[in-house]
Amino acid sequence: MSNRWSLVVAVALLIVGGIAGWGVTRAADDPHRAETERLQGTVTWSNQETQLIVFTPDGWQPSRNEEEYHVRVLADNWEDAVGNYPGGYPPCLLPADASPIRHRVQLDLMHRDLGDRRAEHIAVHVKCLD
């Protein structure tokens, strides 16, 4: 009878442990946490007023429904090529005179899935590479 009792206790402990493990894992999954992705590439268009840029990540192949990679720049601070953190809008996102932009940058991006519409890409850090 003691072997049967030991088996029942062992199975009960496994079930309780499994439920507790699932609960801890579920509680640790914070829906408000956002992870960033670091990408390097080229900025080809920018609008300082709307803080929108067109960015082409290195090696990126566009899908049929996404011809351009639009990014909203919400970075309050940015980093220049030597590692300084000046204020204001990053100059590498601005056109020089009337010429087109072709600046190399590194962006820390968050991606927001909008369901049926194109995903929204948000830059939370900008590093000018040139």
Span 9-64, pLDDT tens digits: 777 777 777 776 666 666 555 555 667 899 999 998 888 888 889 888 888 776 66
The angle at the Cα of 78, spanning 47 to 35, to the nearest 5 degrees, equals 95
Using CA atoms, how far residue 11 sits from 3, 4, 5, 17, 64, in Å, is: 12, 11, 10, 10, 53
pLDDT band at 94 (very low <50, low <70, confident <90, very high): confident
CB 129 within 8 A of CB 106: yes
Give the contacts of 106 (CB within 8 A, at least 6 positions apart): 38, 39, 40, 126, 127, 129
CB 93 within 8 A of CB 53: yes
pTM greater than 0.85:
no
Tell me the mean pLDDT in the region 87-115: 79
* Model pLDDT for residues 53-80, shown as the tens digit of each residue: 988 888 877 666 565 678 888 876 788 8
Using CA atoms, how far residue 63 sits from 9, 13, 66, 70, 118, in Å, is: 55, 50, 5, 13, 11
